[in-house]
């Protein structure tokens, strides 16, 4: 039985790991699984919330903000907030329209939410939540993309990764620093399908994960260290669909994704002590991490 669709989004709140996803068979329902560090609990549905594509969750001020496109590919941006016990209810971000799913990140004590413009425009936009007030849509200059972006903070700058325009398979990124946007740059020799997932962990190394080119189902990553990209590396024993979601939890790196062939099953692989665990299926309700 299919339990998920599209790409997941994982975050850590307190001492628990939360993985959000759309329900199986593009149900439009928002679900999440929780791991307490030892066991996976039963999956739970977020009440009163419907979506298209994959969600994007971020932790801010000890709460989870889960962003998503509205139901039926309506192009609206919505979010729900969770304090660890209760959901506040779904809210629409005013004056914001998008394609596919968003990518949210905390930067300078504000939430930045990135997305492709409406109707698959190929333009990259973002809105900023500052103290309960949305600042309004802004376009990232001279940047074009396919699918969903992935934003991360690294060395006090904001990096926004994305696939190039027209499903080119190229990996690009733009950097927002104190001086503004630096301009889109291509990661040479790296090719992907769908959206990437970026994370800053482990000895100040920036990692970017993605599905291999032409929907190969292979999980790959490239890493930025000492001012250079170190080159593509394949994660062994991992088969996937859509885009991954990567987080750091208990000093290990976890990469979540839907199984190959759009299986509707949630899997992860973990980097523990410098070694990959191999692909593990999430069995909700009591299975060990």
Do the domain assignments include residue 102? yes
> What's the confidence (pLDDT) of residue 289?
77
> What's the confidence (pLDDT) of residue 286?
72
Do the domain assignments include residue 289? no
How many domains, in total, are found in the chain?
1
Do the domain assignments include residue 212? yes
Q: pLDDT category, 2, cuts 50, 70, 90?
A: confident
- Out of 34-38, 91-95, 127-131, least confident range: 34-38
For the cut 80, the answer to whether the pLDDT of residue 89 exceeds it is yes
Do the domain assignments include residue 287? no
Spatial separation of the C-alpha atoms in residues 143 and 161, rounded to whole Å: 11
For the cut 90, the answer to whether the pLDDT of residue 21 exceeds it is yes
Q: Mean pLDDT score of the chain, rounded to an integer?
A: 96
User: 158 or 285: whose pLDDT is higher?
Assistant: 158
Q: Is the pTM of this model over 0.95?
A: yes
CATH of the domain at 112: 2.120.10.10
DSSP string, the chain: ----EEEEEEEEETTEEEEEEEPGGG--EEEEEEE-SSBBPPPEEEEEEE-EEEEEEEEETTEEEEEEEPGGG--EEEEEEE-SS-B---EEEEEEE-EEEEEEEEETTEEEEEEEPGGG--EEEEEEEETTEE---EEEEEEE-EEEEEEEEETTEEEEEEEPGGG--EEEEEEEETTEE---EEEEEEE-EEEEEEEEETTTEEEEEEEPGGG--EEEEEEEETTEE---EEEEEEEEEEEEEEEEETTEEEEEEEEGGG-S-EEEEEEETTEE---EE--TTT-B-
> What's the confidence (pLDDT) of residue 184?
98
- For 190-222, write each residue's pLDDT tens digit: 999 989 999 887 778 999 999 999 999 999 999
Do the domain assignments include residue 288? no
Do the domain assignments include residue 286? no
> What's the confidence (pLDDT) of residue 202?
73
> What's the confidence (pLDDT) of residue 219?
98
Domain of residue 267 covers: 5-281
> What's the confidence (pLDDT) of residue 232?
97
Express as a percent the part of the chain with pLDDT over 70. Answer: 100
Do the domain assignments include residue 179? yes
Contacts of residue 27, defined as CB under 8 A and 6 or more positions apart, other chains included, come to: 5
């Amino acid at each position: 039985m299919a339990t998920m669709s599209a790409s997941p989004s994982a975050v850590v709140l307190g001492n628990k790991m939360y993985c959000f996803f759309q329900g199986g068979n593009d149900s439009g329902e928002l679900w999440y699984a929780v791991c307490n560090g030892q066991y996976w609990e039963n999956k739970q549905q977020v009440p009163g919330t419907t979506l298209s594509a994959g969600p994007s969750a971020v932790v801010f001020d000890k709460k989870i903000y889960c962003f998503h496109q509205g139901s039926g590919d309506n192009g609206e941006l919505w979010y729900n907030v969770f304090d660890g016990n209760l959901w506040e209810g779904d809210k629409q971000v005013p004056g914001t329209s998008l394609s596919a799913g968003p990518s949210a990140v905390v930067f300078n004590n504000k939430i930045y939410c990135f997305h492709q413009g409406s109707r698959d425009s190929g333009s990259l936009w973002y809105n900023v939540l500052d103290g309960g007030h949305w600042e309004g849509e802004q376009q990232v200059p001279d940047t074009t993309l396919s699918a969903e972006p992935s934003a991360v903070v690294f060395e006090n700058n904001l990096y926004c990764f994305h696939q190039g325009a027209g499903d080119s398979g190229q990996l690009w990124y733009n950097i927002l620093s104190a001086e503004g946007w630096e301009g889109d740059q291509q990661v040479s020799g790296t090719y992907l399908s769908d959206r990437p997932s970026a994370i800053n962990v482990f000895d100040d190394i920036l990692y970017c994960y993605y599905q291999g080119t032409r929907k190969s189902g292979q999980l790959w990553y490239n890493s930025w260290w000492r001012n250079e990209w170190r080159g593509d590396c394949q994660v062994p024993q991992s088969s996937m669909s859509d885009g991954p979601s990567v987080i750091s939890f208990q000093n290990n790196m976890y990469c979540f994704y839907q199984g190959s062939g759009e299986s509707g099953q949630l899997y992860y692989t973990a980097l523990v002590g410098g070694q990959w665990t191999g692909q593990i299926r999430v069995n909700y309700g009591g299975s060990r991490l």
